[in-house]
């Protein structure tokens, strides 16, 4: 694929006509399609054991976020234990990206940042 891409790039740099460039792109597209298929087969989207965000009970999420907010606001290290207890619910409620930022801040004992991430993410719920 690298050679095919280089040939297309060279043709464009050299000012080749549209027909020539399109002729070079066709085998590149075919190679790209094969690569995507092979990757899809090697890494299927529905891999057993892949982490997915669980369905979240809004009332329970509100309760857990409220308790976590209290712990973080008090700079209480118990927040780390509580995270372990409620990990799945918090990940589902916050979303994968915000949860990762929240967890990282909490693990680094940056409770103020963890609290800010929690509040920002909870506002979006």
pLDDT in tens, 73-116: 999 999 999 999 999 999 988 888 899 999 999 999 999 999 99
pLDDT of residue 102: 92
CB 102 within 8 A of CB 90: yes
Q: How far apart are CA 73 and CA 77, in angstroms?
A: 11
Residue 32 sits in the same domain as residue 70: no
Share of the chain above pLDDT 70, in %: 87
CB 32 within 8 A of CB 2: no
Residue 115 sits in the same domain as residue 89: yes
Residue 78 sits in the same domain as residue 23: no
Stated pTM of the model: 0.56
Mean per-residue pLDDT for 10-32?
Answer: 89
pLDDT at 41 over 90: no
Residue 113 sits in the same domain as residue 62: yes
Q: The domain containing residue 83 runs over which residues?
A: 58-123
């Amino acid at each position: 694929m690298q050679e095919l891409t280089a040939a297309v790039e060279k043709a464009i740099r050299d000012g080749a006509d549209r027909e020539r460039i399109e002729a070079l792109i066709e085998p590149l597209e075919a190679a790209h399609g094969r690569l995507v298929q092979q990757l899809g087969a090697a890494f299927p989207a529905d891999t057993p054991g892949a982490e997915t965000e669980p369905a979240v009970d809004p009332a329970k999420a509100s309760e857990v976020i409220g308790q976590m907010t209290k712990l973080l606001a008090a700079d209480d290290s118990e927040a780390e234990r509580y995270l372990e207890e409620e990990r799945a619910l918090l990940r589902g409620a916050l979303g994968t990206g915000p949860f990762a930022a929240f967890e990282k801040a909490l693990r680094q004992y940056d409770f103020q940042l963890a609290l800010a991430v929690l509040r920002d993410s909870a506002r979006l719920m």
